[in-house]
Amino acid sequence: MRYIVLLGRLLFSSIFIIKGLEHFSKTAINLGTKMGIPVASFLVPLAGLVALAGGLSILIGYKARLGAWLLVVFLIPTTLVMHKFWMLKDAHHAMMHNYCFWKNIALLGASLMIAYFGSGPCSVCKQCCPNKK
């Protein structure tokens, strides 16, 4: 059963690792500029770095609580700035952003649980510091 937690960390962190890397692309930076992000060429890759660091931390279970807080810091502004479904007139786009908004809220909830409970079994922290909670 202890490997279920490892699988959960893998599945949870994968979106932050994959999408975090995408924040370094011209496409992502251009989208950030279009969405009104100031200094998008700096802030979009910075957001990607935060998401990537948080995702990797949780995946390997090293400082997972800190990694989860990084994801909280990433998710709150990203959700509120990038997924303003309530301001969109096009029903299709509004529906897509509504979905993304609530997906991010769910990810935020899971991040807060990891921030509280930590990485669990099968993690680097459990190998390095077996007596730590």
Reported as a single tens digit per residue, the pLDDT across 65-104 is 999 999 999 999 999 999 999 999 999 999 999 999 999 9
Residue ranges per structural domain of the chain: 2-128
> What is the distance of C-alpha 80 from the center of its chain?
14
**pLDDT given at position 124:** 84
pTM, two decimal places: 0.90
9: number of Cβ within 10 Å: 23
Quick one: how many helices (H) and strands (E) in the chain? 6, 0
Measured distance CA(97)–CA(29) in Å, rounded: 18
Average pLDDT over residues 21-45: 97
Contacts of 94 (CB under 8 A, 6+ apart): 85, 86, 88
In angstroms and rounded to an integer, the radius of gyration of the C-alpha atoms of the chain is 16
Which is higher by pLDDT, 121 or 12? 12
